[in-house]
Amino acid sequence: MDLEIIEKELGVGRGTSIFLSQTFDDLSSMRKFLSPRINDFTPPHLLPNIDHLTDYVLLAIGNGDGIFVWGHDDIDGHTSTAVMVKTLRMLNARVDYHIPDKRKEGYFIPEEWLERIKNDGYKTMLTVDFGSSSEENFDRCRKAGVNLLVTDHHEVLTTSGVQVNPKMPDSRYPEKNLAGVGVSIKIAQHLATNILGTSIEEFYEINKDLLIHGFLGSVADRAPLEGENRIIILLGLEEFKRSNRPWVKALREDGPLGFNQIINRIIPILASARGAEGVNFYLCSDYEQAKDSLSIFKAQQRTWQIGYSRYLPAVLRSVKVYPKFAVAIVPNIPLEFLGSFANRLKEEFQRPAMVATNRNGDWSAELRGRGSVDLVKKLSVLKQEFLDFGGHPLACGLTFLDQALDRITEKIIEISETFESTDEKIKEIELPIIEIEESLKRIFPLPREVRFLSSNSTIKGGLVDDRKVIWNVTPPQDGRYDLIYFLDEDLNIFIKEVQCRP
């Protein structure tokens, strides 16, 4: 596409038009990437079973039975729970919620909790960020006489009951990679527009904070920064910067925050929240109370870091590295560290990794993948041997009996030999350094790692085309070179590779 047309229609400079022309085929896609709008959202009625869920919610509200929200103990789960609780309260539903601690309550809905909520008058349980991986929860709820409504975004391993999940086999929803909070937001939108008759614009004008929940939950869950996720993240980021809600102001207390600062500073603090304290923070309407909660989270973060450092040496000593897999079997590690350790091994050994530990006689494991490996699909052949299993293609968890440790570990290692390419694909954009200009800030955050190529650039006195750069390699002698570089959101230029011209 002609660069001048892109620049005129979208109000961008030459560097941005060069980037967009190599990334998208039409102006509409370019505009959505740079400046998404509420009306760019996919209609939620395309989500599977969403009308069935709406009917059950209406019935529960009409009968005064109440709806009990069952969440998941991470940022995505906390924000999903907050979105659903706020929405149901807006609909005048009687609502309560619980965030299970898998260390104490396991991976299924405990029967005692089902009995408890029934005694409190709740006949409907609605899950968020949880439920699509196991038939067991549906069986337990049926026996207890509780209606189970599942909203989730993990890989679907059972098709029982009423499930709203964009990954269901019959799903017409084009956005398969929403975070759990993204699914909750779209359900909230559907409930409000269908039950209250509000327009999409009115719903998000009244409930701007839901976009902030969506932003935080989506980036914490590492949802791909494209499509509907990008809309939620960019709109939520802008709302985060200007919101006067007490808990948001408390997060911004140390000064303005950009995307990378939020990822590196705020997300680790919020990740330290445990159980209901995380949801309570997002529901908080008192500034001082929000500040007190953050102080607790920061202390818990420091404690977590101490624990991580304490157990890491044992993990590194135990690791065994195979051609396409790394595995560490380490007894008596707290479950809260497994995912981080698996991610550490994945990065250190540049291949998919698993870390497993024992708990109450059973073994729990977290796996992290790379490249095009689909861990859930690959390991689903062993599903019958697991007590619990589920997750995403590049991040999943499982549990199994103590006596099955050697057999299952050997089978997973054998399966790893069939893994496809574990190389991370990095998109390359040809963008002369001399064309880098201010409007390029609008392309951030990037949906995936992108490296840039600047051909035939002039290096003189450490400058590149008269621009200051950050050298991650030894600067060459003055001359003309092809350069591989990366950009950050402040348009700092990081030179990664220097190629001599023929």
Measured CA to CA, the distance from residue 341 to residue 202 in angstroms comes to 44
Q: In which band, very low, low, confident or very high, does the pLDDT at 102 lie, cut at 50, 70 and 90?
A: confident
Q: Is the pLDDT of residue 324 over 70?
A: yes
pLDDT value of residue 500: 86
List pLDDT tens digits, range 417-465: 999 876 777 889 999 999 999 999 999 999 878 999 999 999 999 999 9
Range of the domain at 156: 44-242
Domain end: 395, 416, 437, which one?
Answer: 416
Distance CA 207, CA 187 (A): 13
pLDDT at 28 over 70: yes
Q: Is 17 part of any domain?
A: no
Torsion of CA 266, 271, 277, 282, to 10 degrees: 50
CB atoms within 10 A of CB 7: 17
Does residue 405 sit in the same domain as residue 348? yes
In a domain, 142, yes or no: yes
Residue-wise DSSP of 388-446: EEEEETTEEEEEEEGGGHHHHHHHHHHHHTT----PPP-EEEE--GGG--GGGGGGPSP
pLDDT bracket for residue 1 (50, 70, 90): confident
Average pLDDT over residues 104-133: 93
- From residue 236, give the alpha-carbon distance in Å to each of 184, 203, 208, 241, 310: 14, 14, 8, 9, 36
Residue 112 pLDDT greater than 90, yes or no:
yes
* pLDDT value at residue 496: 96
Under DSSP, is residue 172 helix (H, G, I), strand (E, B) or coil? coil
A 10 A CB-CB count for 274 gives 16
Q: Is 484 helix (H, G, I), strand (E, B) or coil?
A: strand
Specify the residue for token string 């405990």.
Answer: 110
Q: What is the pLDDT of residue 426?
A: 82
Q: Say if residue 183 is in the same domain as residue 130.
A: yes
| Coil/strand/helix, residue 207 | coil
For a pLDDT cut of 90, what percent of the chain falls above it? 92
CA atoms within 13 A on the CB side of 299: 6
pLDDT single digits (tens) 266-307: 999 999 999 999 999 999 999 999 999 999 999 999 999 999
Q: For residue range 329-376, what is the model confidence (pLDDT) as tens digits?
A: 999 999 999 999 999 999 999 999 999 999 778 999 999 999 889 999
Span 52-74, mean pLDDT?
Answer: 95
Residue 401 located in a structural domain = yes
Q: Is the peptide bond before 445 cis (omega within 30 degrees of 0)?
A: yes
209 and 144 co-located in one domain:
yes
Listed range (46-60, 72-86, 358-372) with the worst mean pLDDT: 358-372
Count of the separate structural domains present in the chain: 4
Q: What is the pLDDT of residue 257?
A: 81
| 24: helix, strand or coil | coil
Question: Radius of gyration over alpha carbons of the chain, in Å?
Answer: 24
Residues 201 and 134 in one domain: yes
Mean pLDDT, residues 27-53: 97
Do 165 and 83 share a structural domain? yes
372 in any annotated domain:
yes
Please indicate, yes or no, if residue 391 is contained in any of the structural domains: yes
In a domain, 15, yes or no: no
**Residue 502 pLDDT level (bands cut at 50, 70, 90):** low
Same structural domain, 238 and 286 = no
Q: What is the DSSP letter of 223?
A: -
